[in-house]
Structure 1
Amino acid sequence: MRKQNLYQQKDKYDYMVVQNEAPLLEWLLENVKQSKSKIKATLQNRGIKVNKRMVTQYDFALKPGDKIAISTSKKNDKFQSRHLKLVYEDRYIVVVEKNPGILSMAAGHSSLNVKTILDDYFKKTRQKCNAHVVHRLDRDTSGLMIYAKDMQTEQILERNWHNIVYDRRYVAVLSGQLEEEQGTIANWLKDNKAYVTYSSPVDNGGKYAVTHFCLLDRNDTHSLVEFKLETGRKNQIRVHSADMSHPVCGDIKYGNGDDPLHRLCLHAYVLCFYHPITHQPMEFDTPIPMNFRKLFSKR
């Protein structure tokens, strides 16, 4: 029988570690009577202090005698944006969930982008750092992204991306009824002169792309599908979905005009990687967007 970590509850939201060293998140899940999602959200939103010091790291090592304070506040009042949510932050990286309609970084004359919002937040909180783009999501794709807070961390992530990131999944609403329950699409992707990505079953001088898919739900007109990337090429999921004759809904570039939600129905909802500095596994997920689910609740 597993031995439980013990604690003394000083009042409703204050605790003291009595025995057993443990990572912070593991200890909280075992000892605090709150849901896993609520505990993780409180951590991510800077709502937990250890010995009067704010801690956000899931793997922060607790020792006997440490005092833990859990805030009742649900929001990080230092970060406010209607375009993205701060999911996780430490001295090296931030993980955010962006809404559709916002760029990952500045392009042309557009000023609305995730990097600018993060840089403004760092300035307001007196952090001497900037957001460094490590990977991108299309403007109209929503979901999870990592940004580095210094050049060294950015270079580690960029140079070792395929070894560091071990699970990266998207969920999409596709047009039509997908027949297969699961499968894999593999071909070469290359841009034409108009910067439209096209695929080829043979090497066309482009980049080899592999996408795994799994059907989550379907109705008479649409399919809810999870995609797991083995490679990360430009427009990979959008092109591969079109190759399946079931394009992503709302895709004006590769789609068929099917636009039930008036947005590109593609969301990056799982992101798992080894921390570039501590090498600890970091696992993040977001709920499947509610409007995606509602399409399949009307039976």
Structure 2
Amino acid sequence: MNEFTPEDPADMDTDFSYLVDAEDTGKRLDAVLAGQMDTLSRNRIQALIRAGEVTVDGAKIVEPKYRVNEGELLALSVPEAEEAEPQGEDIPLTIVYEDEHLIVVDKPAGLVVHPGAGNWTGTLVNALIHHCGDSLSGIGGVKRPGIVHRIDKDTSGLLVVAKTDLAHQGLSAQFADHGRTGPLERAYSALVWGAPSSLKGTIDANLARSLHNRQKIAVVKTSGRQAITHWQVKERFGPEDQPSLASLMECRLETGRTHQIRVHMAHIGHPLIGDQDYGAGFKTKVNRLDDPLKTVISEFSRQALHAGLLAFEHPATGETLKFESPYPADFANLLSALQKF
């Protein structure tokens, strides 16, 4: 790194300085700084430039696309990360993996990921702020965990969260790519009503907010966002001479839309057991069952969905990390009851 160090560093109110060489002449200011610094994302650098934290030969430059010239001295000041607005809370977490860059947690059903309307406290973010403390170096200038993907409140399973701006940038790029060109994998176990006639398939159906209920998602034909789910039947339940009562399916996401698996499964006629939003029409089916299965399903208080596999490339080391989560007790109990049916 061609870093310029003045004779008296105390005379410079800066965290980083760089004397532009011939190779960088004519390039954008934000691009040059991003190329010299591997701890800040380009978006973060652009925000710092606009905030007046970058000078060129002592003059503030607030335009990221400014073209630099050979011999100019670039100086960047990075303000201390602000405290996160949500407060840390001592909420127990199951930590699967953690280092200075990121943390992987096994989220229990019932835990909301991010604070929002009606859930300003008691979330995974509150728990991570408390757990990580000063190891959060600042995402976008704020000491907060970097949420790059989410799973529903009542879905259990694996979630990776960035602790640094660099990790946030690298993980976000992988999730935006949906694993098409990298090692990102996301696989869910789902217990659904009935069973498809084939053993595997793909659902490619766009999703958008429902026009009838803005809290729900619906399949749409001509608008919305593309959503692709690959599914495979792992086990069918029920007497061999009758249509399957239910099945265990593995769903792999090629995209990651809100409620994607839940809506897609309902769309093909096999909603998740326990899904009150997209499978409520199957309640009558429960009433026709005999105990103990009837009781087990009736008492299952969430959608039967578990994020059991997560793989991605470590944004700092380049290593492929792969994690698997066992079924939580309620899911395992429901599966066992179905297997005995």
Give the alignment's TM-score, normalised by structure 1. 0.67
User: Matched residues, percent identical?
Assistant: 33
The residue identity in structure 2 corresponding to 1:143 is G
User: What is the one-letter code of the residue matched to 1:209?
Assistant: A
Following the alignment from structure 1 to structure 2, what is the Cα–Cα distance between the partners of residues 143 and 106? Answer: 19
Q: Which residue of 1 aligns with 2:152?
A: 138
Distance apart, 1:165 and its partner CA:
5.2
Tell me how far apart the structure 1 counterparts of residues 217 and 257 of structure 2 sit (CA, whole Å).
10
Deviation at 1:128, TM superposition (A): 4.7
- How far residue 81 of structure 1 moved from its aligned partner, in angstroms, is 4.7
Q: Which residue of 1 aligns with 2:273?
A: 249
Whether contact under 8 Å (1:217, 1:296) holds in the other structure is no
Q: Which has the higher helix share?
A: 2
SS at match of 1:291: helix
Point out the more displaced range, 159-168 or 185-194: 159-168
Counterparts in 2 of 1:81 and 1:297: CA distance versus 1, 3 Å: farther
Separation in 2, partners of 1:284, 1:292: 23
User: Which shifted more, 154-163 or 224-233?
Assistant: 154-163
Q: 1:178–1:218: 8 Å Cα contact kept in structure 2?
A: no
Q: Deviations over 1:197-217 (max 9, x none)?
A: 1113x4x22111111111111
> How far off its partner does 1:166 sit?
2.2
Which ranges in structure 1 are unaligned for 5 or more consecutive residues? 1-79
| TM-score for the superposition, normalised by structure 2 | 0.59
Asked if the contact 2:227–2:260 (Cα under 8 Å) also holds between the matched residues in 1, the reply is yes
Q: 1:197 aligns with which of 217, 235, 238?
A: 217
Deviations 1:217-248 (A, max 9, x none): 12122111100111111111011100111101
SS of corresponding position for 1:295: helix
1:297 aligns with 2:331: no
**Counterpart in the other structure of 2:326:** 287
Question: Helix, strand or coil for the counterpart of 1:160?
Answer: helix
More strand by share: 1
SS in 1 for 2:262: helix
- Count of aligned pairs: 216
AA aligned to 1:197 is: I
Q: Aligned-residue CA RMSD in angstroms?
A: 2.1
After TM superposition, list the pairs within 5 Å mapping 1:8-27 onto structure 2: none
Residue of structure 2 in register with 1:266 after alignment? 305
Shift of 1:257: 4.2
- Give the drift of 1:280: 0.6
Q: CA deviation at 1:192?
A: 2.6
Q: Which amino acid aligns with 1:224?
A: L
Structure 2, unpaired ranges of 5+: 1-89, 138-143, 239-244, 287-296
> Equivalents in 2 of 1:240, 1:192: separation in Å?
14
Choose which of 99, 105, 118 in structure 1 pairs with 2:108. Answer: 99
- Mapped partners of 2:333, 2:340: distance in 1: 12
